[in-house]
């Protein structure tokens, strides 16, 4: 999908969130990686999604 | 699941007498009670209704008292209690969803609302209006009591559906298809709601914690 190769932050962040729900398709992954290579803001967002996941799990166990 | 249309059952408050019928020699009974506040908070963040939260906790504590013999000490008592409560909470949510399915919920309107909230986060070219900053040592925050207060406040500040779905997904660790089914919404709407919840939560944490590192110290 040629058009997918040029994601904006809105689309990239959506894919990052979607990746928490289902495996991304190859073209989605490729487009996302291209975007993340160039975009520090979305890279920050990606890290923060991982952190939210970790924090939420820790919130459950509460130990 | 209960057939839709039956009136929602509210469990009567468990009496102390009922609790006292369980053998009281086990010292863990007293310890169970010390986790009550946590359990109520947990149920409340999920059910968002003090009455239902109390009901879930009562049912969980009663089940715990009855089943204390099965607690093998491999997890902490709190983890064990939470896993019991989790099932009570899910059970109550199912009953409530069954009830709600009688009411016409405008799912499309709900999804549109979340979609337009997301619109606000980005400009017309799809760039972040307020770009995510790098957070300084987020792992360290997990060790701080006040971080968890901020986290809980941010969770509680999410719109009802977003908060509930996020909690099921990320805190309870349920599978997305199960959540969507229980909520009676399509996967794509479920994804939009989760995406919104994640962005809103990170915004809130940045506002209340990571953005003002100096203000709260350690």
Cross-chain Cβ contact B195/A13 below 8 Å:
yes
- Do B39 and B82 contact (CB within 8 A), yes or no? yes
pLDDT, position B135: 93
Cross-chain Cβ contact B176/A56 below 8 Å:
no
- Do B168 and B161 contact (CB within 8 A), yes or no? no
CA distance B73 to B51: 31
pLDDT, position B216: 55
Determine the distance in angstroms separating the CA of B42 from the nearest CA of chain A, rounded to an integer. 8
Q: Can you state the percent helix, strand and coil of chain B, rounding each to 5?
A: 70, 0, 30
Q: Where in chain B is the domain with CATH 1.10.10.10?
A: 107-216
Cross-chain Cβ contact A60/B126 below 8 Å:
no
Choose which CATH entry (3.40.50.410, 1.10.10.10, 3.90.79.10, 3.30.70.270) describes domain B107-216: 1.10.10.10
Largest CA distance in chain B: 67
Determine the distance in angstroms separating the CA of A14 from the nearest CA of chain B, rounded to an integer. 7
pLDDT, position B91: 84
Q: Please tell me which of the candidates B121, B151, B199 has its beta carbon nearest to residue A59.
A: B151
pLDDT, position B2: 40
pLDDT, position B196: 95
Work out the average pLDDT over A20-24: 93
Does residue A21 carry a pLDDT above 70?
yes
Which residue of chain B comes nearest to A17, CA vs CA?
B195
pLDDT, position B21: 52
pLDDT, position A4: 44
Choose which CATH entry (1.10.730.10, 3.40.50.700, 1.10.10.60, 1.10.1740.10) describes domain B16-100: 1.10.1740.10
Q: Please tell me which of the candidates A10, A48, A54 has its beta carbon nearest to residue B202.
A: A48
Cross-chain Cβ contact A56/B171 below 8 Å:
yes
pLDDT, position A16: 97
Work out the average pLDDT over A25-53: 96
CA distance B59 to B92: 11
pLDDT, position A62: 60
- Which comes out higher in pLDDT, residue B35 or A43? A43
Determine the distance in angstroms separating the CA of A11 from the nearest CA of chain B, rounded to an integer. 8
pLDDT, position B217: 46
Indicate the pTM of the whole model: 0.68
> What is the mean pLDDT, run by run of 10 residues, along chain B of 218 residues?
40 47 64 87 85 92 86 82 88 76 64 87 93 92 90 87 88 88 86 95 93 53
Q: Where in chain B is the domain with CATH 1.10.1740.10?
A: 16-100
- Which comes out higher in pLDDT, residue A34 or B44? A34
pLDDT, position B92: 87
pLDDT, position B181: 85
């Amino acid at each position: 999908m040629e058009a997918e190769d040029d994601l904006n932050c809105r689309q990239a962040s959506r894919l990052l969130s979607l990746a928490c729900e289902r495996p991304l398709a190859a073209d989605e992954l490729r487009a996302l990686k291209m975007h993340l290579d160039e975009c520090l803001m979305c890279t920050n967002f990606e890290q923060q999604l991982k952190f939210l996941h970790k924090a939420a799990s820790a919130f459950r166990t509460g130990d | 699941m209960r057939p839709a249309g039956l009136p929602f059952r509210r469990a009567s408050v468990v009496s102390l007498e009922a609790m006292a019928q369980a053998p009281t020699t086990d010292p863990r009974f007293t310890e169970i009670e010390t986790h009550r506040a946590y359990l109520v908070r947990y149920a409340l963040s999920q059910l968002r209704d003090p009455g239902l939260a109390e009901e879930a906790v009562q049912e969980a504590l009663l089940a715990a008292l009855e089943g204390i013999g099965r607690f093998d000490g491999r997890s902490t008592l709190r983890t064990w209690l939470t896993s019991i409560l989790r099932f009570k909470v899910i059970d109550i949510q199912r009953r409530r969803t069954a009830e709600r399915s009688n009411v016409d919920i405008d799912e499309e309107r709900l999804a549109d609302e979340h979609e337009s909230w997301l619109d606000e986060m980005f400009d017309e070219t799809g760039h972040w209006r307020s770009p995510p900053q790098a957070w300084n040592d987020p792992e360290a925050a997990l060790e701080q009591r006040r971080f968890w207060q901020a986290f809980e406040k941010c969770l509680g500040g999410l719109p009802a559906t977003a908060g509930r779905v996020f909690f099921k997904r990320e805190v309870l660790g349920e599978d997305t298809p199960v959540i969507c089914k229980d909520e009676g919404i399509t996967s794509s709407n479920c994804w939009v709601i989760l995406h919104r919840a994640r962005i809103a939560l990170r915004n809130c944490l940045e506002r209340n914690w990571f953005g003002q590192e100096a203000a709260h110290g350690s």
